[in-house]
Structure 1
Amino acid sequence: MNKEWFVVYCKSREELRAQQNLENQGIHSFFPKICKEKMIRGKKTIVTQALFPNYLFIFISQDDRNFTRIRSTRGINDFVRFGKEIAIASPELIKHLQAICHSINDLKVDTSLRLKSGDKVEVLSGAFKGLAAIFSEQDGLQRSILLLNVLNQENKISFSNKDIKKLNR
């Protein structure tokens, strides 16, 4: 049997349900997801998001002719088509997507490097390069507010997170 990767369109936010129902039928599928860091209610959290929302890749043989059974699977709308032709994804594309998802999702966030209010940090670039400061608070996802002693006066200044590093005590 010559199996190929087909693309199916799922109902909105029902990709996982469709994947589970396909698995119950013995059909292998791939739902590419990535983990991202987001600010939710003022806190950084890791969320999993679909790389291609509403799309799922399934690995079946064209000879199976189970297309009707797959289309009637709960969570699936239909196969993706180009005219009358059902869309087929190359095995190289699927391997590449799996490798990308695996490498992105393996990047764990090191919570020991997270900054807390009062932590001592060093400025790595810019006009204040080499100066020590005190971490005050996050200023969005990309920036932080530091307390920097300039001319014997503490000033709150916003810095890019890539331009600061935590100092070991």
Structure 2
Amino acid sequence: MNWYVVYTKSKWEKKVAEQLQKRGIECYCPLITQMRQWSDRKKKVEVPLFNSYVFVQLAESDRNSVFDTVGVVRYLFWLGKPAIVRDEEINVIKKWLNSADTIDVAVASYQIGDSIQLESGPFSAQTATIQDMTNTHYVLVLESMGCVLKMKIKS
């Protein structure tokens, strides 16, 4: 069975994943913990790593069954076909999220548009293109995984 990417309504990722699991569909919604600040307090909240995306593992013949779930919009397509995510890529994401280590990557000597080979961490041996850089973050495009990562630069 393949992993497919389901596009959801905005801010519905966790609800869709919960509903899919209740229906017996194998799904994965990677979550990260972030500190959010309101006017009166700070709070740690779990937010999806990929906005509006939930990964589902289904047989090709069962792909339409996800549309019975409220909040599912469509499948993500790549080159005219439903995007398929390999098991290894899902495992890399899980390994990265479960890792207690924070990885430093220096991007000061790079420029936007440069193609780099990641040498360490959960995305090692992946080729990425630098899409954007700021003083605190950089954005990498992992074309082989079909995703964009926003990484914080440690000071």
Work out whether the TM-score is over 0.5: yes
Q: Which runs of 5+ in 1 are unaligned?
A: 108-169
2:14–2:48: 8 Å Cα contact kept in structure 1? no
1:7–1:57: 8 Å Cα contact kept in structure 2? yes
Aligned to 2:82: 86
What SS is found at the alignment partner of 2:45?
Answer: strand
Aligned to 1:100: 96
Cα distance per residue 1:115-158 (max 9 Å; x no partner): xxxxxxxxxxxxxxxxxxxxxxxxxxxxxxxxxxxxxxxxxxxx
What SS is found at the alignment partner of 2:66?
Answer: helix
What SS is found at the alignment partner of 2:99?
Answer: helix
Q: Which residue identity lines up with residue 31 of structure 2 in the other structure? A: K
> What pairs with 1:1-169 in structure 2 (closer than 5 Å)?
3-41=1-39, 43-62=41-60, 65-103=61-99
Question: Counterparts of 2:35 and 2:14 in 1: how far apart (Å)?
Answer: 21
TM-score (norm 1): 0.54
Question: Counterparts of 1:54 and 1:72 in 2: how far apart (Å)?
Answer: 17
Q: Which residue identity lines up with residue 76 of structure 2 in the other structure? A: V
Q: How many residues align?
A: 102
Q: Which residue identity lines up with residue 34 of structure 2 in the other structure? A: K
Query: How far is 1:68 from its partner?
Result: 1.9
Query: How far is 1:42 from its partner?
Result: 5.7
Question: Which structure has the larger Rg?
Answer: 1
What SS is found at the alignment partner of 1:66?
Answer: helix
Query: How far is 1:59 from its partner?
Result: 1.1
Q: Which runs of 5+ in 2 are unaligned?
A: 103-155
Cα distance per residue 1:71-114 (max 9 Å; x no partner): 2321111111124310001111101111122235x99xxxxxxx
What SS is found at the alignment partner of 1:36?
Answer: strand
- Overall identity of the aligned pairs, in %: 25
Q: Which residue identity lines up with residue 29 of structure 1 in the other structure? A: C
1:29–1:59: 8 Å Cα contact kept in structure 2? yes
Aligned to 1:152: none
Q: Which moved more, 1:16-25 or 1:36-45?
A: 36-45
What's the Cα RMSD here? 2.2
Moved over 3 A (4+): none
Query: How far is 1:17 from its partner?
Result: 1.8
